[in-house]
Amino acid sequence: RGAEVVRRMRHRGVILGGRGERSVRLRPMLVFGEGHADVFVEELEGVCRDVGSGRGEGSKNAPLPS
């Protein structure tokens, strides 16, 4: 599932790295403020909820590129 989270987050504009199936790594930009953290947490919660429940792209309703 880690790889799926990374893929979906990248689709939403958030860059993460992954190592294996159960981990993700945040790769923040050089300038990373509180507003960026809020966006990150909101997007990550949505992606984890969707991946955990087996749903598609959720609120974004956009097809993911292959």
The whole model's pTM is what?
Answer: 0.68
Residue 58 clears pLDDT 60, i.e. is over it: no
Each residue's pLDDT tens digit, 5-28: 989 998 998 888 877 777 888 777
- Cβ density class 2-12: b for 16+ within 10 Å, e for less: beebbbbbebb
Q: With bands split at pLDDT 50, 70 and 90, how would you rate the model's confidence at 64? A: very low
Tell which wins on pLDDT, 7 or 56. 7
Residue 17, Cα to own-chain centre: how many angstroms? Answer: 10
| Confidence at residue 59, expressed as pLDDT on a 0 to 100 scale | 46
